[in-house]
Amino acid sequence: MRAHRLAQIAALSAAIAALTGCAVGPDFARPAAPDTPRLTPATPTTADARSALPGGGAQRWAAGMDIPANWWTWFGSSALNALVAESLHNNPSVQSVQAALRVAREDVSAQRGAFWPQVSVDLNASRAKTAPELSPALNSGTSPYSLQTAQVLVSYSLDVFGGNRRQVESLAAQAESARFQLESARTALTANVVQGVVQAASLHDQLAALQRNVALQEEQLGIMRKQAALGDIAQAAVIVQEAALAQSQAQVPALRKQLAQQNDALAALLGRLPAGEPIPAFTLADLHLPDVLPQDLPSALIEQRADVRAAEAQMHAASAQVGVAISNRLPQIALTASDGRSATRFADLFASKTGFFGVAADIAQPLFQGGALLHRQRAAQAVYAAASAQYRATVIAAFQNVADTMQALQLDAEALRTSALAEVRTREGLDIARAQLSIGDVSYLSVLLAEQQYQQSVGSRVQAQANRYADTAALFLALGGGWWNDGNATTSPKDPSGKP
């Protein structure tokens, strides 16, 4: 009977909370997307470097095109795909964010436990002696005495003003933010791997070009030495050419160092130690430049950028904390009940006349806390204001990021076109200068200048190629990275609720 009575009390408590409860504080509303028709000042047009070099093709913009979750496969390299897959599986930073997400979700589940009555069983054995003239221990007057007690305790805090509901809401929003932080970390990781491979390929191509230039200079030096031996040119010209060759050769170790460090950086992204399996060698010719680029509306960008969604969730969590702070200033209602038995011997614990029970209700209204509760409410409101400002800053940064990348891609094509033309012209100039030097029409200084110009133009051309690949990867990152098309994603831009 007593157990049944306790169950009735618990059920009644829950019913009272459900019928009379309300959640104080502001109800969160998602911020509206910025009222702007486009992401850049001018509508982007087809970008074409008009070059047969790798990365020299045309890129056109496709409005409303969805981004696949595995966008990096558009670069057409199975070796790159393997590195990205390995990084997503082994990168410790991503694993850390995954663990943080699990923590956040468990915190939500733990807080939801406060919606239910708290039930516990208590077994107590004690030995005591009291002064008979003050407080007789037992009706029999026996002292000292033993006392065995077994009881079930039920307590329930009525969430009349929604303080616990707001706390659960806040923790759920924090879990949602952690989810989007994970998506942001994964997207940034894939972009960093792609851009790291592009940079390694660029360094590899620059190194190959420099070595070809060194070979040309060595060939030219051999010719000049023969001419000096015949008395056609002064020995000073040979010395100058030797110095130019030495300068070019000195650049080779520097490029090799950069390439080695870039491969070490890639290994770290993959979760490898530098002494582990070597990174495959890439050249820009191993990569295909995606010829179709997505172009989204501003409203779609707000939905797709994981960092914006994470900032929105943090704003939601801060809003709910305002309700928690307000609730703490209002009456707190708690119900408690106990049912048990007590006897001097364990064998008599369940005998007749050993039972007891109690039911109590408690209402506590804070009256004076030195202003602490009021100031905590104001602090929560200030945190919400800060989260709102941070959200707006994140949105502005996202729009800037996309605009910068889109405009960079437009100019990258032009830069590659002019760089490729400069390389052709400087190579023609070098060939002419070398031919003229062989017949004595120009001085060795003209050849030296032509060599320097050619070497600079080759480096500029390789960097311009790499910029198109790197900025294309940056565009996919800026537009969100397609995480919503990942089968493992639990949230989607099509489902703004995004409950974790």
Q: What are the extents of the domains in the chain?
A: 1-25+117-158+331-364, 31-116+161-330+374-485
Same fold, 1-25+117-158+331-364 and 31-116+161-330+374-485: no
Give me the percent of the chain exceeding a pLDDT of 90. 51
Stronger pLDDT, 51 or 461, i.e. the higher one: 461
Reported CATH class of domain 1-25+117-158+331-364: mainly beta
Token pair recorded at residue 148: 């065995």
Alpha helices in 154-282, H assignment, sequence order: 163-229, 235-269
Token pair recorded at residue 111: 């807080």
Q: Are strands 332-343 and 355-364 parallel, antiparallel or unpaired?
A: antiparallel
Report the DSSP beta bridge partners of residue 292. Answer: 60
Stronger pLDDT, 45 or 175, i.e. the higher one: 175
pTM: 0.85
Indicate the SS3 state at residue 145.
strand
Domain 31-116+161-330+374-485 sits in CATH at 1.20.1600.10
Q: What is the mean pLDDT of residues 203-222?
A: 88
Residue 441 has what pLDDT?
Answer: 78
Residue 416 has what pLDDT?
Answer: 92
496 band by pLDDT with thresholds 50, 70 and 90 = very low
Residue 495 has what pLDDT?
Answer: 40
Q: Is 337 left (phi over 0), alpha (psi -120 to 50) or beta?
A: beta
Lowest-pLDDT range of 357-371, 409-423, 435-449:
435-449
Lowest-pLDDT range of 84-98, 263-277, 448-462:
448-462
Is it the case that residue 299 has pLDDT exceeding 70?
yes
Q: For residue 426, which of 391, 451, 444, 463 has the smallest C-alpha distance?
A: 451
Residue 404 has what pLDDT?
Answer: 92
Q: Residue type at 282?
A: F
Residue 237 has what pLDDT?
Answer: 83
- The answer to whether 320 and 403 have CB atoms below 8 angstroms apart is no
- The answer to whether 184 and 489 have CB atoms below 8 angstroms apart is no
Q: Are strands 145-158 and 332-343 parallel, antiparallel or unpaired?
A: antiparallel
Distance CA 239, CA 221 (A): 9
7 band by pLDDT with thresholds 50, 70 and 90 = low
Token pair recorded at residue 183: 């998506």
Give me the percent of the chain exceeding a pLDDT of 70. 90
240 band by pLDDT with thresholds 50, 70 and 90 = confident
Token pair recorded at residue 437: 């030097």
CA triplet 270, 253, 466: central angle to 5 degrees? 55
Lowest-pLDDT range of 35-39, 314-318, 356-360, 431-435:
35-39
Is it the case that residue 183 has pLDDT exceeding 90?
yes
| Residue 51 DSSP one-character state | -
Q: What is the mean pLDDT of residues 126-130?
A: 78
> What residue ranges in 297-398 does DSSP mark as E strands?
332-343, 355-364
Residue 196 has what pLDDT?
Answer: 96
- The answer to whether 170 and 346 have CB atoms below 8 angstroms apart is no
Token pair recorded at residue 217: 């200079």
Q: For residue 175, which of 114, 100, 113, 92 has the smallest C-alpha distance?
A: 100
CA triplet 223, 228, 232: central angle to 5 degrees? 95
Q: For residue 342, which of 128, 62, 109 has the smallest C-alpha distance?
A: 128
Residue with the two structure tokens 């990942």: 486
Q: For residue 167, which of 383, 327, 377, 381 has the smallest C-alpha distance?
A: 327
Residue 280 has what pLDDT?
Answer: 94
Question: From the CB of residue 410, how many other CB atoms can be counted at a distance below 10 Å?
Answer: 17
Residues 6+ apart with CB under 8 A from 1: none
Residue 46 has what pLDDT?
Answer: 81
498 band by pLDDT with thresholds 50, 70 and 90 = very low
Is it the case that residue 3 has pLDDT exceeding 80?
no
Whether omega for the bond prior to residue 144 falls within 30 degrees of 0, making it cis, is yes
Q: Are strands 58-63 and 332-343 parallel, antiparallel or unpaired?
A: unpaired
Residue 474 has what pLDDT?
Answer: 95
Q: Which stretch, 53-62, 74-83, 138-147, has highest mean pLDDT?
A: 74-83
Stronger pLDDT, 121 or 219, i.e. the higher one: 121
User: In the β-sheet with 58-63, what is the strand arrangement from edge to edge?
Assistant: 47-48, 58-63, 292-295
Residue 493 has what pLDDT?
Answer: 47
497 band by pLDDT with thresholds 50, 70 and 90 = very low
319 band by pLDDT with thresholds 50, 70 and 90 = very high
Distance CA 216, CA 451 (A): 9
Is it the case that residue 138 has pLDDT exceeding 80?
no
Return mean pLDDT, the chain: 86
